Structure 1
Amino acid sequence: MRQNQARRAALLDAAIDVLAREGARGLTFRAVDAQAGVPGGTASNYFANRDDLLTQAGTHVYERLTPDPETMARSLEGPRDREKVLQLMHEVVGRVSAYRAGYLALLELRLEATRRPGLRAVLTPRIRKDVDDNVDYHLSSGLPGDATAVTLLYLAMNWLIVERLTLPDVFGEEQARELVERAVERLIPEV
């Protein structure tokens, strides 16, 4: 059966919303159909089973989080120094935090991967690739800092995003900005 790609994307967006709101246990074909506003049974026509839906939802989150080529090109305009790294970290925290449902869904998928070896087998190389791509991009772009510094920034920014999305009163907006600045200051050498 030929499938409508726009409807598939809408179903995956709905799955992400359900994951973020209800957790992995609440992700059912019925819940996805209701969230997408489509007739019952639609999601089951697009996804072989629940594991397929979980896996494709995880892939879709990354597609939505990946900056477009224009954003990537703009990210390297100007000097490649510590200040540029700081700008990039603020942009990443802002962009990822703005896609709250996607990031929370990804956290749910990570938790579910501890119980589902098949999902773990899909998520592990995907997230490893994300880390490697971030390091490779940073190093190849001529920005200051080594692979370890980039990995530490990746970990620090991700946990800061978790705090901002799950317990926003732990660190206020100003304190979060200050933490990003201190992390970059301590991990990236001045050029």
Structure 2
Amino acid sequence: MASDRRTLLADAALDVLADEGIRGLTHRAVDRRAGLPSGTTSAYYRTRAALLTGLVTRLVQRDQAELHTMAEELPPLRTVDELVDGMARLAHARLTGEGRRRSLARYACTVESVRDPELRELLVPRENAGREAVRLFLSTHGAPDVETRTHTLLTCVDGLVFDRLVSGGDVSREALEGLVTAALRP
């Protein structure tokens, strides 16, 4: 029961953060969003730091689950077009619906992590099936320094998502193709 309540509160905290920003993230706001009595959130997450840690932990869990599902649905990536299609699908998912809300929360937490090493450690990119698919693609296509190129490519895609989140619109195929082409250069 406690773990279910923690999950409910962390999900509510994600929603508050997405809707109201970091300043709006309070224990009371999370209680209201979760539809629970005042004081519930502080009983489970005593401090703001604990609330942020719980929120980020849940965010990472949800992101990892999304990436795992997306990777399972994709065929093996053989061509640049297939990799670009997969990245475009991920970028679109991160800019719309529930993915947009998590992206807003993720970027707010990323800025907070500059001053909080514990949050920063939680937000470090994790191994997942999507990252492995990109790594394998680059390796198969002869890219040098595959680890660095994988990290750089995915960081650049993340930057495009951030830009489109702030400016509106979707990530263009041309931009993604340019990034993949650059990652494959000798």
CA distance in 2, matches of 1:153, 1:84: 15
1:89-108 alignment, distance < 5 Å:
89-98=87-96, 99-108=99-108
**Paired residues, what number?**
178
> Is the 1:135–1:147 Cα contact (8 Å) retained in structure 2?
no
- Counterpart position of 1:71: 70
CA distance in 2, matches of 1:100, 1:69: 18
1:29-178 alignment, distance < 5 Å:
29-66=27-64, 67=66, 69-75=68-74, 77-78=75-76, 80-98=78-96, 99-115=99-115, 120-130=116-126, 133=128, 135-140=131-136, 143-144=140-141, 145=143, 146-168=146-168, 172-173=169-170, 176-178=172-174
- Counterpart position of 1:180: 176
- Counterpart position of 1:23: 21
Distance 1:4 1:37, change over 3 A: same
**What's the CA shift string for 1:39-68, capped at 9, x where partnerless?**
111111221211111011011111112226
AA at the equivalent of 1:74: E
> Is the 2:32–2:38 Cα contact (8 Å) retained in structure 1?
yes
CA distance in 1, matches of 2:123, 2:12: 22
Distance 1:70 1:25, change over 3 A: closer
Distance 1:4 1:79, change over 3 A: closer
Distance 1:138 1:184, change over 3 A: closer
CA distance in 2, matches of 1:121, 1:93: 27
Give the TM-score normalised by the residue count of structure 1.
0.78
Ranges in structure 1 where 5+ consecutive residues have no aligned partner? none
1:28 positional shift: 0.9
1:128 positional shift: 3.0
CA distance in 2, matches of 1:21, 1:70: 26
> Is the 1:82–1:188 Cα contact (8 Å) retained in structure 2?
no
Residue identity (%): 29
CA distance in 2, matches of 1:159, 1:69: 21
1:79 positional shift: 5.0
1:103 positional shift: 1.3
AA at the equivalent of 1:127: L
Instruction: Give the match's secondary structure for 2:163.
Output: helix
Ranges in structure 2 where 5+ consecutive residues have no aligned partner? none
